[in-house]
Amino acid sequence: MPIFHECQRCTACCRWPGQVRLTDAEITRLAAFTGLSESDFIQQFTRLTTDRRGLALLDKPDGACVFLDGENCAVQPVKPQQCRDFPNLWNFPGFEKICHARPRLVPPEEYEHLIRTATSRTPPPPIPNH
């Protein structure tokens, strides 16, 4: 059975060093959500990725994501796919030492549903009871 990691919203992944890469579509959504033009959003909230091939969210001086607001993501409805997909669709060796997501063995059908719910902006309808 597959293992689904259930996020506990500890926000550790919003605080550790790294970069949240942004696609053009994500910049468009984030700019609209923050009420800024895309060029103003890029100026205020992004930086070059380390490989200089794209843009990533800016960090605060302490290394946390610029959109971490206390214990919450200030752009939750439009947060980037990279944030949505961790830790189920991507992670790194030893991530469990920092991430508090609870691993659960689930049937394949439930796993697919949980993944769609966790990683999409619009959650799919609930699985009907048989």
- Out of 20, 27, 55, 118, name the contact with ligand SF4 by CB under 6 A: 20
Q: Does 99 bind ligand SF4 (CB under 6 A)?
A: yes
| Binding of ligand SF4 by 67 (CB under 6 A) | yes
Q: 82: helix, coil or strand? A: helix
Residue 62 corresponds to which tokens in the numbers above?
């302490």
Measured from the CB atom, the residue of 88 and 113 that comes closer to ligand SF4 is: 88
Q: DSSP code of 78? A: G
Would you give the DSSP letter of residue 21?
E
Is the CB of 29 or the CB of 129 nearer to ligand SF4?
29
Q: What is the 3-state secondary structure (H, E, C) of 28-60?
A: HHHHHHHCCCHHHHHHHHEEECCCCCCEEECEC
Q: Which CB, 84 or 125, lies closer to ligand SF4?
A: 84
Q: Is 11 in the site for ligand SF4 (CB under 6 A)?
A: yes
Which one, of 61, 58, 11, lies nearest residue 30 by Cα?
A: 58
Interface contacts to ligand SF4, rule CB under 6 A: 7-14, 20, 57, 65, 67-68, 73, 75, 79-80, 83, 86-87, 99-101
